[in-house]
Amino acid sequence: MITVWGRKNSVNVQKVLWALEELDVPYTRENVGGSFGGNKDADYLAMNPMGLVPVIRDGDVTMFESNAIVRYLAARFRAGVLRPAEHQSLAMAEQWMEWAQVNFAPAVGTLQMNLIRSLPEHRDQSAIVTATERSGELVKIADTWIARHDWFAGHDFSFADIVMGALFWRYAGFDIQRPATPHLMEWLDALQQREAFRRAVMAVPRAKDLADWNRIEKETA
Ligand SMILES: N[C@@H](CCC(=O)N[C@@H](CS)C(=O)NCC(=O)O)C(=O)O
């Protein structure tokens, strides 16, 4: 049985839970981080010296970094389901996995921290403007790709769709000016048909402000 440490409203935890659901791997989860705390305790820091969620334990393996965890799970369980077996699809999956983490995640994170997780008087307006523009440029790039492919790795769903999907779902909920991305929206519709996405991501409502965020965190514990 795998153990996951992390609160359900963390996008990085959601990626791991979604992967486990897709792979049909049994797991238990401990609430850590945010209002639950625990992530700066010595025991936790021994598992993840960064003091962040998620962490997983799989027998004698304990690891942190959500994308690495998703890759690990995909390689370890039900080969070929999330990690493409064919090398060209694997290349595409890895490419978008990395792209999401390096480019899209920081922009979405800035918007999340300023629009949702800060009181209005503490928001950094210039960071919001920059991240809105940046994320707009990025989703147009992703939209162009997905216009020509069923999934980010080509014909089949893969771990790239998990990482992109968890982030894009959050982005699509922000009350900001977003460019039209009709192909990404179609792809998002397809994700919503997946039970694993509904259980790991959609089951946690998107918050509209800090009070909402704190309430949802407790309610979905
Ligand atoms: N690169 C790390 C980032 C992890 C991260 O930033 N986690 C956030 C939540 S999304 C966190 O632990 N925040 C502190 C907290 O929840 O208390 C990963 O992908 O796992």
- The domain segmentation of the chain, as residue ranges, is 87-194
200: region left, alpha or beta (phi > 0 left; psi from -120 to 50 alpha): alpha
pTM for the model stands at 0.97
- Confidence (pLDDT) at 143: 98
Could you count the other beta carbons within 10 Å of the beta carbon of residue 102? 9
Q: How far apart are CA 161 and CA 191, in angstroms?
A: 8
pLDDT recorded at residue 91? 98
Backbone phi and psi for residue 59, each to the nearest 5 degrees, phi listed first:
60, -120
52, 56, 70, 201: residue to mutate for ligand 1 pocket, most atoms within 8 A of CB: 52
Long-range CB contacts for residues 198-202, cutoff 8 Å, separation at least 24 = 199/17, 199/18, 199/21, 200/14, 200/17, 200/18, 200/20, 200/21, 201/14, 201/18, 201/165, 201/166, 201/169, 202/169
Mean pLDDT by runs of 10 across the 221 residues of the chain is: 97 98 98 97 98 98 98 95 97 98 98 96 97 98 98 98 98 97 98 98 96 95 88
The amino acid occupying position 209 is D
Ligand 1 centroid – CA 201 distance (Å): 16
Chain CA centroid to CA 155, Å: 21
- Reference 2, options 62, 65, 66, 67; nearest CA is 62
Dist. CA 24–CA 6, nearest whole Å: 19
Q: Say if CB 201 and CB 165 are below 8 A apart.
A: yes
Which residue in the block uniquely carries the two structure tokens 């919503």?
Answer: 192
> Best mutation site among 5, 12, 29, 104 for ligand 1, i.e. most ligand atoms within 8 A of its Cβ?
12
Residue 208 amino acid letter: K
Q: What is the pLDDT of residue 205?
A: 95
- Inter-CA distances, 66 with 2, 126, 153, 181, Å: 14, 29, 19, 26
**Where are any strands of DSSP class E within 9-102?**
27-30, 55-58, 61-64
Ligand 1 near 164 CB (within 6 A):
no
Atom of ligand 1 nearest to the CA of 34: 17
Fold of the domain spanning 87-194: Glutathione S-transferase Yfyf (Class Pi); Chain A, domain 2 (1.20.1050)
